[in-house]
C-alpha cells in the first residue's frame, strides 16, 4: 500500500494512474494523497532547524508587536531575560554598555552640570549685588524693621513675578491629575487645594447664575493670584506672585493643548490614578516661571569686583605663605631628626618629594607630616638605608649584634665598647671576635666582665644557664661544690638569683647507696654458736669497706653516724639463752669490723633474741633466724 500511495503522490499534475487490480488503493490515493503530500512537507520543515528558524523569523516581529500592544505580559516575560543579558554583558565587557549609553547620558550630564554652575554664578552675582550695595544695606534695614527674613525682603523688591505651583485638575470630577511646585515655594496638600479650586469654580457658577460655558479664569488671595485655563477634559491652575505678563496665559494654553494631545484618552477615562500623567511633568515644570527686575548696574560695581579680586588674591597669597611656613617648619624638624640626612627636595605634580638617607633605627618621618599641618598625601619620601653614628642607634646595633645576656651591660662611646657584668666563657670569646670585625669599634674592654664558668669552677657534670638575671644549675655535683657555688654566686655582678633545685648532690646519692648496701647485708650463724659461718670473710670485708665509706660521707656532710649491729636467734632454746647468744653474735660481727679498722664509736651492739624472726620463714627451725643485721641511724645518740 505504501508503494502505491507514494507513487500516486509523486504523479505530476495531481493525476493518479489507476492501479490494475487494486481499485481501493486507487480510490485512497485520490482521496488522501494531497493531504499526505502536505503532511510530508510539514514533517520535513519541522525536521529542518534552519527552515524552522526562517519560518519563526518571519512571524516573530509581528507577534512581539501584537503582544506589546495588547498587554504587558510579554514585557514581564522578557524582563528577567533582559536583566540577565545586561548583567552578563557588564561582566564580560562593561565598555560596550558605556559606549552605548554615552551619547544619551553624556549630554544630559553636561547640561545638568552647566545649569548648576550657571545657577551658582547667578546666585553669587546676586549675593554680591544685594549684600555690598547701598540698596542691599537698605533692604537689610527693612528686614530688621519688619522682622522679615532678608531673603524675603530681597524677593519682594526684585521679583517681577513667580509661578509657585501648577495644578492639573480633571474637569468633570475635580480630582487632581498632576502637581508641580517651585523649590522656593511652600506647598500645601495638593489634593485639598484642587478640591477647593473646584469648589470655588462651582460656587461662582451657582451663585451668579453663570452658564456651564462660562469659566472662572482668575482670582486673587492676598499677594497671590490664581490663573485658571480650561480645556476639554482638564484645567490648569497656576498659583503665582507678582505681575505676570500676558504671554504666561498663552504658555498655559499651549501647555494644556499639548497635554490633551498626548493624553486625551487617559483624561477621558481618568479614574483618579495619576501615574500615566508622569510624562506630562516636564510640560508642567516649564510653567514654573520666575522673573526678576533687571536694574541698571551701579557705577561702583567694578570697584567692588576689584576689591573682591584683590581680597581673593590676598587670600591666595596668605594661604601660600602659610603653606610655605608650615613646610619650612616641617623641613627644619626633619633635618633635626637623628639618623636622617636630607639630600634633596623638589615639588612635582603638586606633591613634594624628599630624597635622602635614613637609619633603620631612626623615627618614621611620616609621623611629622600631619602635626606640621601638611597633608600626608602631599609628601613622598625616597630613602636610602645607611648606618648613623648616633650613639643611641650605635648602641641598639651593638645590642642586636652582640646579643648580650641580661647580666651584661654594654656601653659605647667614641669608638670604645665597654662590657660589664657576668657571662659564660663562650659569649666572652664571641664578643672579643665580633669587636675586631666591626669597623666603628676601635677598642673592646671586658675587664669588668666575670667569667661564670671560671669563677664557679664548674665541673663537667654541672650545667649552668641564664634565665634573665637568674642563674640556674642542673646535673650533679659534690656537696662541697654545691655549698661553695651558693656562696660564690652572690659575688657575680648582674645575677640577682641562683636556682639549684635541679642540681643533684652526688654525696647525698652516695650516702643513700652505701646505706642501702649496709642495711641489706646479713651474716648467718650455726645453731648454738656465736662464730660466723664459714665463707663469709669476703662479705665481712665488703661491709667494712661500706662502713668506712659511710663514715667518710658522714664527716663530709657534717652528719653524725651510728650503726646498730643487731643479733638474732631462733626459738629452739629458752629466751634468756637466745638473748645471750644473739648478743654474742652481734658482738662477734662488731669485733670483726673493729679489727678491720672501723671506729668502735660508730658501732652499737643490740640483742633481739628470737623476738624478731625473719619475715616469711619458720620461726622455730629456719637458719635465717640465726643472723646479724644492721641499721643506720644518721643522728647522734
User: Half-sphere exposure of 235 toward its Cβ, with a 13 Å CA cutoff?
Assistant: 21
Query: Which pLDDT belongs to residue 273?
Result: 82
Same fold, 139-292 and 521-633: no
Q: Which residues contact 502 (CB under 8 A, 6 or more apart)?
A: 472, 473, 474
Q: Determine the Cα–Cα distance for residues 461 and 85; give it in Å rounded to an integer.
A: 83
pLDDT tens sequence across 473-486: 999 888 889 888 88
Q: Determine the Cα–Cα distance for residues 585 and 524; give it in Å rounded to an integer.
A: 9
Query: Which pLDDT belongs to residue 545?
Result: 92
Query: Which pLDDT belongs to residue 67?
Result: 66
Q: Determine the Cα–Cα distance for residues 288 and 165; give it in Å rounded to an integer.
A: 7
pLDDT tens sequence across 314-356: 888 887 788 788 888 888 888 888 888 888 888 887 788 889 8
pLDDT band of residue 7 (cuts 50, 70, 90) is very low
Is the dihedral angle over the CA atoms 393, 398, 399, 401 positive or is it negative?
positive
Cross-strand pairs, 220:
225
Q: Which helix (H) or strand (E) holds 454?
A: helix 452-456
Specify the higher pLDDT residue, 169 or 616: 169
* Residue 380 neighbours by CB distance under 10 Å: 14
**569, 586 Cβ separation under 8 angstroms:** no
Q: Which helix (H) or strand (E) holds 396?
A: helix 391-402
Average pLDDT of the chain, as a whole number:
79
pLDDT tens sequence across 428-458: 999 999 988 888 788 999 899 999 888 888 8
Query: Which pLDDT belongs to residue 565?
Result: 93
Q: Determine the Cα–Cα distance for residues 182 and 185; give it in Å rounded to an integer.
A: 5
pLDDT band of residue 361 (cuts 50, 70, 90) is confident
Q: What is the dihedral of CA 60, 65, 67, 69, to 10 degrees?
A: 180
What are the boundaries of each domain within the chain? 2-44, 139-292, 317-375, 391-504, 521-633
The DSSP letter of residue 233 is S
Query: Which pLDDT belongs to residue 5?
Result: 38
**280, 264 Cβ separation under 8 angstroms:** no
Checking phi first, is residue 597 left (phi over 0); if not, alpha (psi -120 to 50) or beta? left
Answer yes or no: is pLDDT of 488 > 70.
Answer: yes
Answer yes or no: is pLDDT of 581 > 60.
Answer: yes
pLDDT band of residue 10 (cuts 50, 70, 90) is very low
Identify the CATH class of 521-633: alpha beta
pLDDT band of residue 98 (cuts 50, 70, 90) is low
Q: Which helix (H) or strand (E) holds 189?
A: none
**168, 191 Cβ separation under 8 angstroms:** no
Q: Nearest-CA neighbor of 448 among 404, 479, 410, 400?
A: 410
Output the CATH code of domain 139-292.
3.30.450.70
Predicted TM-score (pTM) above 0.75: no
Amino acid at each position: 500500500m505504501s508503494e502505491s500511495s507514494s507513487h500516486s503522490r509523486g504523479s505530476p499534475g495531481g493525476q493518479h494512474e489507476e492501479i490494475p487490480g487494486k481499485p481501493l488503493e486507487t480510490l485512497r490515493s485520490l482521496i488522501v494523497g494531497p493531504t499526505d503530500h502536505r503532511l510530508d512537507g510539514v514533517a520535513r520543515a519541522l525536521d529542518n532547524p534552519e527552515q524552522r528558524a526562517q519560518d519563526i523569523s518571519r512571524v516573530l516581529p509581528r507577534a512581539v508587536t501584537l503582544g506589546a500592544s495588547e498587554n504587558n505580559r510579554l514585557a514581564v516575560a522578557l524582563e528577567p531575560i533582559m536583566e540577565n543579558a545586561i548583567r552578563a554583558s557588564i561582566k564580560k565587557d562593561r565598555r560596550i554598555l558605556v559606549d552605548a549609553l554615552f551619547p544619551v547620558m553624556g549630554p544630559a550630564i553636561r547640561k545638568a552640570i552647566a545649569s548648576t554652575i550657571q545657577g551658582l554664578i547667578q546666585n553669587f552675582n546676586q549675593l554680591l549685588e544685594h549684600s555690598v550695595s547701598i540698596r542691599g544695606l537698605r533692604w537689610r534695614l527693612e528686614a530688621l524693621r519688619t522682622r522679615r527674613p532678608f531673603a524675603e525682603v530681597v524677593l519682594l523688591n526684585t521679583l517681577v513675578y513667580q509661578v509657585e505651583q501648577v495644578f492639573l485638575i480633571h474637569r468633570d470630577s475635580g480630582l487632581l491629575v498632576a502637581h508641580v511646585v517651585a523649590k522656593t515655594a511652600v506647598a500645601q496638600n495638593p489634593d485639598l487645594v484642587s478640591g477647593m479650586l473646584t469648589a470655588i469654580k462651582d460656587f461662582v457658577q451657582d451663585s451668579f447664575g453663570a452658564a456651564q460655558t462660562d469659566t472662572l479664569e482668575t482670582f486673587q488671595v492676598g499677594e497671590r493670584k490664581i490663573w485658571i485655563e480650561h480645556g476639554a477634559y482638564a484645567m490648569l491652575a497656576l498659583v503665582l506672585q507678582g505681575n505676570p505678563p500676558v504671554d504666561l496665559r498663552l504658555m498655559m494654553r499651549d501647555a494644556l493643548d499639548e497635554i490633551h494631545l498626548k493624553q486625551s484618552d487617559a483624561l477621558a477615562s481618568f479614574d483618579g490614578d495619576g501615574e500615566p500623567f508622569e510624562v506630562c511633568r516636564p510640560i508642567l515644570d516649564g510653567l514654573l516661571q520666575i522673573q526678576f527686575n533687571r536694574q541698571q548696574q551701579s557705577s561702583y560695581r567694578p570697584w567692588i569686583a576689584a576689591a573682591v579680586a584683590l581680597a581673593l588674591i590676598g587670600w591666595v597669597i596668605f594661604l601660600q605663605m602659610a603653606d610655605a611656613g608650615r613646610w619650612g617648619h616641617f623641613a627644619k624638624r626633619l633635618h633635626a631628626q637623628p639618623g636622617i640626612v636630607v639630600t634633596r627636595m623638589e615639588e612635582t605634580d603638586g606633591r613634594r618629594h624628599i630624597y635622602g638617607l635614613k637609619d633603620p633605627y631612626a623615627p618614621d618621618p611620616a609621623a611629622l607630616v600631619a602635626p606640621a599641618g601638611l597633608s600626608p598625601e602631599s609628601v613622598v619620601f625616597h630613602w636610602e638605608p645607611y648606618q648613623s653614628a648616633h650613639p643611641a642607634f650605635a648602641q641598639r646595633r651593638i645590642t642586636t649584634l652582640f646579643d648580650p645576656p641580661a647580666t651584661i651591660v654594654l656601653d659605647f662611646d667614641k669608638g670604645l665598647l665597654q662590657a660589664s657584668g657576668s657571662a659564660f666563657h663562650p659569649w666572652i670569646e664571641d664578643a672579643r671576635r665580633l669587636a675586631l670585625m666591626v669597623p666603628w669599634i676601635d677598642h673592646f674592654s671586658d675587664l669588668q666582665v666575670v667569667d661564670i664558668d671560671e669563677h664557679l669552677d664548674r665541673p663537667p657534670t654541672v650545667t649552668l644557664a641564664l634565665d634573665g638575671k637568674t642563674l640556674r644549675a642542673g646535673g650533679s655535683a659534690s656537696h662541697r661544690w654545691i655549698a661553695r657555688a651558693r656562696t660564690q654566686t652572690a659575688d657575680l655582678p648582674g645575677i640577682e638569683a641562683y636556682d639549684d633545685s635541679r642540681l643533684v648532690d652526688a654525696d647525698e646519692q652516695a650516702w643513700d647507696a652505701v646505706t642501702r648496701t649496709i642495711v641489706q647485708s646479713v651474716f648467718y650463724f650455726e645453731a648454738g654458736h656465736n662464730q660466723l659461718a664459714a665463707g663469709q670473710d669476703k662479705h665481712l670485708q665488703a661491709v667494712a669497706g661500706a662502713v668506712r665509706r659511710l663514715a667518710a660521707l658522714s664527716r663530709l656532710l657534717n652528719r653524725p653516724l651510728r650503726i646498730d649491729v643487731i643479733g638474732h636467734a631462733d626459738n629452739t632454746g629458752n629466751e634468756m639463752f637466745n638473748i645471750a647468744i644473739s648478743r654474742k653474735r652481734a658482738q662477734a660481727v662488731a669485733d670483726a669490723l673493729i679489727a678491720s679498722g672501723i671506729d668502735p664509736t660508730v658501732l652499737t651492739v643490740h640483742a633481739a633474741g628470737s623476738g624478731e624472726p625473719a619475715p616469711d620463714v619458720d620461726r622455730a627451725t629456719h637458719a635465717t633466724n640465726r643472723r646479724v643485721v644492721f641499721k643506720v641511724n644518721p643522728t647522734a645518740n
